[in-house]
Chains A and B, each alone.
Chain A
Amino acid sequence: MDLFHNLGIGFEAALSLNNLTFCFIGVLVGTAIGILPGLGPLATIAMLLPLTYSLEPVTGLIMIAGIYYGAQYGGSTTAILVNLPGESSAIVSCLDGHQMARKGRAGAALAIAALGSFFAGTVATMLIAAFSPTLAEVAFLFGPVEYFAMMVLGLTAATLLAHGSFIKGVAMVLTGLILGLVGADVNSGTYRFTFGSFSLTEGIEFVAVAMGLFAFTDIVTNIRGDSAREVTAPSLGNLWMSRDEAKQAALPIVRGTIIGSLLGLLPGGGAMISSFASYAMEKRLSRNPEEFGHGAVAGLAGPEAANNAGAQTSFIPMLTLGIPSNGVMALMIGALMVHNIAPGPFVMVSNPEIFWGLIASMWIGNAILVVLNLPLIPLWVRLIRVHYWILFPIILTVCCVGLYSIENRVLPIYFAAGFTLVGCLFWRMRAEAAPLLLGFILGPLMEEHFRRALLLSNGDVAIFYQSTLSVVMLSTAAIICAVVLLPQIRRGRSAAFVEEA
């Protein structure tokens, strides 16, 4: 049996005392820092990356991976308790998770997040082990046309998340795509939109954009509602979910795991798209969609499972194709390169202990997370009782130090300040910032594949209709647009009739 043989190699590598220790350290540090709002896995990993250079490649990767999903777990905890996304894929967890906390169900929300993540992690690990060789071949079929179509689909799905109008979400995606293009153009080396500043040649710092638009904007808009924050303290007696909540969470967790595993596999996908897509789906499927945004259990359970499944399976394109599906994966590639291992399909063959050891360590790490964190829930819950006037200066300072630590320079802080003002403007205009962030990440990749596709077809736009995969993805995106926009138009029309009457 190939599967058991492969997993055997993996567990053998991951269960060595050394690797187990670093997996534990990674998960622990990741959770601790992920709990701190605004300091997500990207900044954490970037900070700790140099420390892993002296380790064995497998050990280093295992530790970084541990930080990654540890921080994700911590990020969800922060999102639920404080309504600040500890990192980008936890944005969705804020929506309903925090509302649950406000209703006094913080303990249940945390338990759902932990158990949902663990279930998703277990399933995703099995899926990776069973199908990764085959899935890698499917991913090989992706050309620039399919990449482009997939990104269009991913962005469209993400825009569904926007609370306000769909069209404003589309505009935000485009704004993000444009901001993502700042810096050196890959093909020609031209510096675009840098306004002559050398520090902009590598683009705008992602963490600065994220902190400005989410963490800092949230501080500004919440500062006056200080007293409202204090009433979110949950009763410590309700740490576990009720049977009813468990029942409500079960199906969304299964669906979220499926969505996450699939979307995470696609290059450019991963935890964030998965959680967005799962949230959108649960909202569509729900019998009471009006509960979403007001503490719907399904709106937390689905995305939590999806982002963990997506986070796990997003390692596949990185390990099999050498393509980073997100910033964290880019850092992982950097870590591999330091050890003179070029990520690609042959890693699975030449260094099976890296590929399978990493996968096995993910399951071990997730198990550690549940064991470690569920008993610690009372401690995290206590965080919510802290007055906001104590909390927000801490968030500000920790974020600033984090921004500074990325490259030991203050420029990202200035950018974060700028994006705070922009974020306030968006808040005023009721434009959801999440789609912007996604566009920002995908901007350069999308341009590259768009250009390459049209280069291959010699400028013929019809190439996007000549691949089955691309047609399927583009029409799915079109259907999403239709499904979302048509009811709006219909509602608008009927409302107009009411007005006339």
Chain B
Amino acid sequence: MSSTLNRKADIEAGLFFTLFGALTAGLSLQYQMGTVAAMGPGFFPFLLGVLLAVIGLIIFAKGLLARGEVVRTLPLWPAILITASLLVFAFLVLTAGLAAAVTAQVVVALRASEHFTWKRALALSAALLIFCYVVFVHFLGISVPMIAV
């Protein structure tokens, strides 16, 4: 890497892995440890958690001391909208039916793109609904309500 100043990627990754490892090790303590010969359910995850935390610290230290890769800038709105579109689908599919779930998902997800127009969103939803009905409901026989009461 050509950059010598920005070290954020390794620092963030190191922190993440250290925290996740420590959390795992901490949570493992609530389960039985057992002995090396007869391990309880907590032993292996504790081991992994400690190992991960140590490696996380090494990555963190590497980020502090050496030059490292720069973090990539996350497109925040797409990340939120795509995730939201999944949640919307999951929430609506059984409560309102596939028709509403697909339409809502397409509208929310397409908002993340600069190509969003209502006409496109509705046309896409309609086409997708027909596709879902023919392939999934009709041919594959997935039991999902098109319109839930």
User: Which residues from chain A sit less than 8 Å from chain B, CB to CB?
Assistant: 47-48, 164-165, 167-168, 170-171, 174-175, 177-178, 181, 185, 187-188, 190, 192-193, 216, 219-221, 223-224, 226, 387-390, 392-394, 396-398, 400-401, 404-405, 408, 410, 413-414, 416-417, 420-421, 424-425, 427-431, 447, 450-451, 454-455, 457-459, 461, 492, 495-496, 499
Contacts and interface: CB of A to CB of B under 8 A. Distances in A.
Nearest to B44: A447
Contacts of B143: 408
B9 interface: yes
Contacts of A398: 132
Contacts of A447: 44
Interface string B4-47: 10000110110011001100100110011001111111111100
Interface in B65-96: 66-67, 69, 71-75, 78-79, 82-83, 85-87, 89-91, 93-94
Nearest to B35: A459
B56 A171 contact: yes
B24 A190 contact: no
A174 B48 contact: yes
A393 B74 contact: no
A178 B44 CA distance: 9
Given A174-B21, A223-B75, A226-B113, A190 B35 contact: no
A428 B74 contact: yes
Contacts of A170: 55
B115 interface: yes
Contacts of B87: 413-414, 417
A401 B79 contact: no
Nearest to B12: A429
B64 interface: no
B39 A427 contact: no
B109 A401 contact: no
Given A171-B55, A185-B41, A221-B75, A431 B13 contact: yes
Contacts of B13: 168, 171, 429-431
**Interface-centre pick from A178, A223, A410, A429 (highest chain B CB count, 10 A):** A429
Contact of A451 (B12, B39, B86): B39
Nearest to A224: B75
Given A174-B51, A430-B13, A192 B45 contact: yes
B31 to A, nearest CB: 6
Contacts of B110: 389, 393
A175 B13 CA distance: 12
Contact of B109 (A224, A387, A396): A396
Contacts of A499: 4, 67
Contact of A400 (B12, B55, B72, B86): B86
B142 A401 contact: yes
